[in-house]
């Protein structure tokens, strides 16, 4: 049994108007039918650009956002259907680490008080002494000195504050930690240290992670499986190495082509697909495939009328694109007007005559 299983999860926020905000005039389709599973002890990386619904999905797992429909099955129990009190108890096993460590730590509480608060609420440790012993042990695990106990958040660097955020989750002995952009507020030099720490903790404590990031480079090494999200839905999912070796969805290819490669020769010759246009509004998503308005491989048939479902192409590799196979074998070529595709010298890009930009 998987530790976490999401079945067709939807989170729609009503858009209210009127003097008393009493009229619902539409919905923001922030998460619109996501199904995925996370195995115990694994890391699932969820990527996509800002506004695609990653945070809303993470919060929905903890029921910090009310779920419009679908199931969130955690260790065999559907959290979406749990009464509030039972959900509160389950929250100990599901913890979240936030992007902005300073914003999520109360500046007036010292570290001991911040960490002990959740422990007391969930009945961990019989008294203050027991809780303190546990806190000291966890601080050591995350690489902070024991004297951190009596200090305040502003006395720490950004990387240390993120360690405090991680310690706050760990003292509750969770099974699943949702890390929402865990390193994007940190300097690049510190990012790797925090990612390494998360990996070490996973190994020694058997943790399961859902890591949310807009940057593919961040999730690459830490993730076993990566899901790529676009406008509220998964467009591709694959084991990490496979996704990098053979990205199949046009959106994943564009995201991937934005990640620089350290080898200068490879860097000079690699494919770059620069997407034109903005992310459409999740309050008014495009019909059919949500990516069709920006897709360089868009076809006249099906793309703007029929919403593709995630379909397994190979073992564990799922793609939501009507033409994934034809794009992969080159039968369908991209349209230049929709993407600037920088290609290796000497090669030319054949523009498909069938393709219809419709723009």
Ligand X SMILES: Nc1ncnc2c1ncn2[C@@H]1O[C@H](COP(=O)(O)OP(=O)(O)OP(=O)(O)O)[C@@H](O)[C@H]1O
Q: Which residues would be at the binding site for ligand X (CB under 6 A)?
A: 13, 28, 30, 48, 50-56, 214, 282
Report the number of secondary-structure helices (H) and strands (E) in the chain. Answer: 11, 14
C-alpha distances (whole Å) from 83 to each of 59, 79, 299 are 17, 9, 47
**Smallest distance from ligand X to CB 232, Å:** 7
Taking the least distance from each CB to ligand X, the nearer of 175 and 180 is 180
Taking the least distance from each CB to ligand X, the nearer of 54 and 322 is 54
Strands (DSSP E) found in the chain:
4-17, 23-38, 43-47, 69-74, 77-78, 94-97, 176-180, 208-213, 225-230, 233-239, 272-275, 311-314, 317-319, 339-342
CA contacts within 13 A on the Cβ side of 112: 15
**Smallest distance from ligand X to CB 53, Å:** 4
Taking the least distance from each CB to ligand X, the nearer of 54 and 134 is 54
Taking the least distance from each CB to ligand X, the nearer of 218 and 335 is 218
Task: Work out the number of other CB atoms within 10 angstroms of the CB of residue 79.
Answer: 21
Taking the least distance from each CB to ligand X, the nearer of 36 and 115 is 36
* DSSP per-residue string spanning 170-215: HTT--SEEEEESTTTTS-HHHHHHHHHHHHHHHHHHT-EEEEEES-
**Smallest distance from ligand X to CB 257, Å:** 20
**Smallest distance from ligand X to CB 228, Å:** 12
Between CA 81 and CA 72 the distance in angstroms is 9
**Smallest distance from ligand X to CB 130, Å:** 37
Calculate ∠ Cα 289-292-297, nearest 5°: 115
**Smallest distance from ligand X to CB 256, Å:** 18
Taking the least distance from each CB to ligand X, the nearer of 30 and 119 is 30
């Amino acid at each position: 049994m998987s530790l976490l299983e999401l079945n067709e999860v939807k989170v729609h926020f009503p858009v209210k108007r009127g003097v008393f905000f009493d009229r619902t005039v539409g919905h923001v389709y922030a998460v619109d039918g996501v199904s995925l599973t996370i195995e115990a002890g694994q890391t699932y990386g969820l990527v996509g650009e800002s506004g695609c619904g990653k945070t809303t999905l993470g919060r929905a797992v903890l029921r910090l956002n009310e779920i419009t429909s679908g199931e969130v099955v955690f260790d065999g129990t559907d959290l979406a259907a749990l009464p509030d009190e039972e959900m509160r108890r389950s929250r100990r096993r599901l913890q979240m680490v936030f992007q902005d460590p300073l914003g999520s730590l109360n500046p007036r509480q010292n570290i001991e008080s911040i960490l002990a608060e959740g422990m007391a609420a969930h009945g961990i440790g019989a008294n203050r002494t027991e809780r303190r012993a546990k806190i000291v042990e966890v601080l050591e695990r995350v690489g902070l000195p024991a004297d951190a106990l009596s200090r305040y958040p502003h006395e720490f660097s950004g990387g240390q504050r993120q360690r405090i955020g991680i310690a706050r989750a760990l003292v509750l002995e969770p099974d699943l930690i949702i890390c929402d952009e865990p390193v994007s507020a940190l300097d690049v030099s510190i990012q790797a240290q925090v990612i390494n720490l998360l990996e070490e903790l996973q190994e020694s404590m058997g943790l399961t992670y859902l890591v949310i990031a807009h940057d593919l480079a961040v999730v690459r090494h830490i993730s076993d499986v990566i899901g790529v999200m676009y406008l509220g839905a998964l467009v591709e999912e694959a084991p990490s190495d496979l996704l990098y070796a053979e990205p199949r969805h046009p959106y994943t290819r564009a995201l991937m082509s934005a990640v620089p490669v350290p080898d200068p020769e490879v860097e000079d010759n690699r494919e770059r697909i620069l997407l034109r246009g903005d992310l459409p509004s999740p309050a008014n998503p495009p019909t059919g495939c949500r990516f069709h308005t920006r897709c360089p491989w868009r076809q006249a048939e099906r793309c703007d009328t029929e919403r593709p479902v995630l379909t397994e192409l190979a073992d564990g590799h799922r793609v939501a694109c009507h033409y994934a196979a034809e794009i992969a074998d080159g039968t369908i070529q991209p349209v230049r007007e929709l993407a600037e595709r920088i290609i290796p010298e000497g090669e030319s890009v054949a523009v498909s005559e069938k393709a219809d930009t419709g723009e």
